[in-house]
Amino acid sequence: MALMEAEAQTVQTKPAETERFASGFLSEAELLKRLPVCRRTLTSWRRRGQIPFVRLPGSRRVIYHWQSIEAALLRMQQGER
């Protein structure tokens, strides 16, 4: 019975994760897992306006739209800004 309850809890958490990634937005930690750069580099790119980001109102939290990040990285690779 306890195993079934644990499986039910697991099933309930997965849709939320799927919805989060389906929206295309990532936290800084999630973005750093996808990119081979350090946090300092990411912060530097953000300050220079090289990558787009969204600062959530009323907090310091920043999120990134993955498709926009990919496009920005391609522009950087081609020498554009």
What is the tens place of the pLDDT at every residue in 21-70? 558 999 999 999 999 999 999 999 999 999 999 999 999 999 999 999 99
Calculate mean pLDDT across residues 6-33: 67
Which domains occur in the chain, in start order?
Answer: 24-81 (1.10.10)
The pLDDT of residue 22:
55
The 3-state DSSP class for residue 65 equals strand
pTM for this predicted structure: 0.69
The pLDDT of residue 63:
96
